[in-house]
Chain A
Amino acid sequence: AQKVTQAQTEISVVEKEDVTLDCVYETRDTTYYLFWYKQPPSGELVFLIRRNSFDEQNEISGRYSWNFQKSTSSFNFTITASQVVDSAVYFCALSEASEIQGAQKLVFGQGTRLTINP
């Protein structure tokens, strides 16, 4: 069965520090997708990135960057020069395909609570 592990339950850093959130996944599928979501105190999950299993190219979007390494089954997320507004719970997720219908659902990790202190 698919599984996503976010070993860091909570991280607290001072503003402007760089911070990396770890994500390790398990799957037997050869084709899968990995996601990162941000959940601010309001509760709504905000989509950050989607990556397919065939594309290991790292991606940068402003202060955010993602490092996908298939060899270690990891999809880590780095925030550079963190800001107080980055404080939230961050979830890594893996798509899981249904054997019957080919439909996909998300399997989430436990989340990492990130606090950026001024």
Chain B
Amino acid sequence: DAGVTQSPTHLIKTRGQQVTLRCSPKSGHDTVSWYQQALGQGPQFIFQYYEEEERQRGNFPDRFSGHQFPNYSSELNVNALLLGDSALYLCASSYGLRELYEQYFGPGTRLTVT
């Protein structure tokens, strides 16, 4: 039973560029949430997808956008990258929307913006 997978593992981008990160949820899960974890900090909620719609959003600018596909996998897109976007991006999957059961996290994508 595959857990949550994310790609790529590491990424280096230049300021101003755009990036797309990918996430496949754990088998049987239909809800995907994205978190940003800056160095030495706790993860911060970016947004959550369910039934291919963004259900709620954290305090992140519109440069951060996402998508969920019919197979429940998800993408996180960040436009006009800033140095401050350098972080570990974590994807988490769960089942359903109202009850937050065990939320499984992927290994993350470490993004470095230079």
Q: What residues of B have a CB within 8 angstroms of the CB of A85 in the complex?
A: none
Q: What is the CA–CA distance of A106 and B36 in the complex, to the nearest angstrom?
A: 12
Category for how many chain A residues contact B: 20 to 34
Q: Which residues of A contact B103 (CB under 8 A)?
A: 35, 47, 106
Residues of B at the A interface (CB closer than 8 Å) are 33, 35, 40-45, 48, 50, 55-56, 58, 88, 90, 92, 97-108, 110
Cα–Cα, bound, A44→B9 (Å)? 11
Q: Which of A72-103 contact B (CB under 8 A)?
A: 91, 93, 95, 98, 100-103
Report chain B residues within 8 Å CB of A42: 107
Residue pair B106, A91 in contact (C-beta under 8 Å): no
Asked if A104 and B98 sit within 8 Å, CB to CB, the answer is yes
B88, B100, B110 pick with most chain A CB within 10 angstroms? B100
Q: With A44-B106, A111-B42 as given contacts, are A50 and B101 in contact (CB-CB < 8 Å)?
A: yes
A45 CA to B99 CA in the complex, in Å? 20
Residue of A nearest to B9 (CB): A43
Residues of chain A from 1 to 34 with CB closer than 8 A to chain B in the complex = 4, 33
Residues of chain B with a CB closer than 8 A to A109's CB: 42
